[in-house]
């Protein structure tokens, strides 16, 4: 009887795949389960998961557990503090890199980079610059973002402007903005030439064109009231006032639709020009395929011709926590993300620009549907651009928040540019001194 029961149990174990005491374990002792946190959702999440699947097909011992939608870096911060971080994570806000590196929460990668066979000259310089803290590498990029000027050619024609000629200086840009602005009989704006950059990131871009510096290159001191930054603030104030003031600008902008949707104000003719990123040609083709538009670098002041094609960069940075359980495997994955295969595959998904120079010339990113030619022109701009970006420091987040608040105080007339940005310098320098 026992013999028959034994055979029956063995049959059930075979039928349902239950491991028995066969002397051979079904567990793969070489399997590494790599936890990763990323901010992408929707189609972008699906695209990134395809990258993970491809990597696992090349490295069968790696199994990923991707927690998507982590677009609040304070969640990562809490995991780092608690000592339970993922093995690798993507920063959503680059200003967190400095504090993480300063507090040794993430691993320095310089030595690994040198041993990997990667070459710095193969990267877009800004992509690695954004990943450094005090000259040391603490992150690895996956694609970059830039900003450019998009112009509605029909609006140019209606305003008597050459539709094939973008403004060449920021002063000329101001005149174009005013000339392209339309109002109804009551004086209310019906078409805005361009919405002036009113947030900290947009203001950083404009101040870069004026030669503004956030820090002194030699001493590292905070220079929030640098002459270039003050010039950018004065330009912003003068232009906003010419258009009717900050209240009227924000009132008109409150009716804008979603940027990546059919009601984007540029798509529907509410604005004649916009500053936007490399992903916009895709959205224009999807939601406004008949729109005739041009793309150009945002022009510098006439007094700073050397800043022609200065481009403000952003991007996606991956870090390895100091307490990562599998730092070697995490690093190997980050190295693979620099391959042409990975860069091109993910660029096609999210329409960001490769950070590896060789991938910029890929026919897969340049040919095919119509918007690819526009995307190619932005890759060409990246290849020759002078990169500008907010450096990683322990106070970068505070600094950008304070710059945005200072700009508000200037635009509302509460402070002069000199006073507003001197206050920022004092506040941020005091915080930096405590680090």
Share of the chain above pLDDT 90, in %: 88
Is residue 12 within 8 Å of 18, Cβ to Cβ?
Answer: yes
Instruction: Give the torsion through C-alpha atoms of 380, 386, 391, 397, to 10 deg.
Output: -70
Q: Is the predicted pLDDT of residue 61 greater than 60, yes or no?
A: yes
The answer on pLDDT for 182 being more than 90 is yes
What's the confidence (pLDDT) of residue 435?
A: 85
Higher-scoring residue by pLDDT: 435, 206: 206
As a whole number of Å, the CA-based R_g of the chain is: 26
Contact 122, 358 (CB under 8 A): yes
Strands 147-152 and 293-296: antiparallel
pTM over 0.85: yes
Residue 286 to residue 299: CA distance in whole angstroms:
28
Final residue belonging to a domain, choices 362, 383, 404: 383
Q: Are strands 32-37 and 88-91 parallel, antiparallel or unpaired?
A: parallel
What range defines the domain where residue 109 resides? 32-146+313-383
pLDDT band at 255 (very low <50, low <70, confident <90, very high): confident
Residues 19 and 26: beta-carbon distance below 8 Å: yes
The reply to whether 279 and 152 lie within a common domain is yes
Query: What are the structure tokens assigned to 311, written together?
Result: 């481009």
Mean pLDDT of the region 96-121: 97
- Beta strands 32-37 and 62-67, pairing class: parallel
Distance, in Å, from the CA atom of 398 to the CA atom of 390, rounded to the nearest integer, reads: 12
The reply to whether 171 and 283 lie within a common domain is: yes
Q: Is 269 left (phi over 0), alpha (psi -120 to 50) or beta?
A: left
Given a cut of 80, whether residue 156 has pLDDT beyond it is yes
- pLDDT over threshold 50, residue 413: yes
DSSP, residue by residue, 316-370:
EEEE-BTT-S-HHHHHHHHHHTTSHHHHHHHHHHH-PBPSBGGGGG-HHHHSSST
Q: What is the DSSP letter of 87?
A: S
Q: Is a pLDDT exceeding 80 seen at residue 21?
A: no
- The answer to whether residue 226 sits within a structural domain is yes
Could you give the 3-state DSSP secondary structure of residue 397?
helix
CA-based max dimension of the chain: 100
C-alpha–C-alpha distance, residues 348 and 47, integer Å: 9
* Whole-number Å distance between alpha carbons of 116 and 398: 35
Task: Inform me whether the pLDDT recorded for 132 exceeds 60.
Answer: yes
Element at 275 (helix H, strand E):
strand 271-277
What 3-state DSSP class applies to 50?
helix
Q: Which of 343, 360, 383 is the last residue of a domain?
A: 383
pLDDT at 320: 98
Same domain assignment for residues 184 and 216: yes
What pLDDT band is residue 257 in, cutting at 50, 70 and 90? Answer: confident
pLDDT at 208: 97
Residue-wise pLDDT tens digits, 279-337: 999 999 999 999 999 999 999 999 999 999 999 999 999 999 999 999 999 999 999 99
Q: Which residues pair with 388 in a beta bridge?
A: 312
End-to-end CA separation in angstroms for the chain? 77
pLDDT at 273 over 70: yes
Note whether 245 and 198 are same-domain residues: yes
Give me the DSSP letters along 91-130. Answer: ESSGGGHHHHHHTT-B---HHHHHHHT--GGGB-HHHHHT
pLDDT value at 25 more than 50: no
**Same domain, yes or no: 217 and 308:** yes
Distance of alpha carbon 374 from alpha carbon 82, whole angstroms? 46
Give how many domains the chain has, as a whole number. 2
Are 414 and 266 contained in the same domain? Answer: yes
What CATH number is given to the structural domain containing 260? 3.40.190.10
Do 170 and 293 lie in one domain? The reply is: yes
Q: Say if residue 286 is in the same domain as residue 413.
A: yes
Q: Does residue 428 share a domain with residue 324?
A: no
Task: State the pLDDT confidence band at 28, using cuts at 50, 70 and 90.
Answer: low
């Amino acid at each position: 009887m026992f013999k028959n029961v034994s055979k029956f149990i063995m049959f059930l174990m075979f039928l349902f795949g239950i491991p028995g005491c066969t002397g051979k374990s079904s567990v793969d002792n070489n399997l590494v389960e790599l936890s990763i946190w990323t901010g992408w959702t929707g189609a972008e999440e699906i695209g990134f998961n395809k990258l993970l699947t491809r990597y696992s097909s090349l490295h069968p011992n790696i199994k990923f557990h991707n927690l998507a939608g982590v677009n609040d870096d304070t969640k990562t911060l809490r995991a780092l503090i608690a000592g339970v971080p993922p093995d690798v994570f993507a920063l959503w806000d680059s200003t967190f890199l400095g504090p993480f590196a300063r507090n040794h929460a993430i691993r320095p990668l310089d030595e690994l980079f040198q041993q990997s066979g990667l070459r710095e000259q193969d990267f877009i310089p800004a992509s690695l610059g954004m990943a450094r803290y005090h000259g040391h590498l603490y992150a690895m990029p996956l694609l970059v973002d830039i900003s450019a000027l998009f112009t509605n050619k029909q609006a140019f024609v209606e305003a008597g402007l050459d539709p094939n000629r973008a403004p060449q200086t920021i002063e000329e840009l101001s005149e174009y903005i005013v000339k392209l602005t339309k109002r109804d009989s009551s004086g209310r704006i019906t078409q805005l030439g361009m919405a002036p950059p009113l947030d900290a990131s947009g203001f950083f871009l404009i101040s870069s064109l004026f030669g503004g510096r956030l820090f002194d290159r030699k001493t590292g001191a905070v220079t929030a009231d640098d002459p270039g930054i003050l010039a950018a603030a004065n330009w912003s104030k003068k232009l906003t006032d010419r258009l009717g003031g900050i209240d009227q600008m924000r009132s008109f902008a409150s009716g804008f639709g979603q940027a990546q949707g059919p009601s984007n104000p540029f798509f529907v003719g509410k604005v004649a020009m916009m500053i936007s990123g490399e992903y916009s040609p895709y959205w224009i083709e999807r939601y406004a395929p008949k729109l005739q538009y041009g793309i150009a670098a945002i022009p510098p002041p006439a007094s700073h011709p050397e800043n022609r094609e200065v481009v403000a960069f952003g991007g996606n940075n991956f870090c390895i926590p100091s307490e990562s359980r599998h730092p070697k495997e995490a690093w190997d994955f980050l190295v693979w993300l620099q391959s042409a295969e990975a860069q091109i595959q993910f660029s096609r998904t999210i329409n960001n620009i490769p950070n590896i120079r060789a991938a910029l010339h890929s026919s897969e990113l340049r040919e095919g549907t119509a918007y690819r030619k526009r995307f190619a022109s932005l890759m060409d701009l990246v290849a020759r651009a002078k990169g500008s970006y907010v450096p990683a420091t322990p106070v970068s987040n505070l600094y950008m928040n304070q710059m945005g608040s200072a700009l508000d105080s200037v635009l509302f007339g509460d402070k002069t540019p000199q006073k507003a940005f001197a206050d920022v310098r004092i506040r941020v320098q005091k915080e930096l001194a405590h680090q």
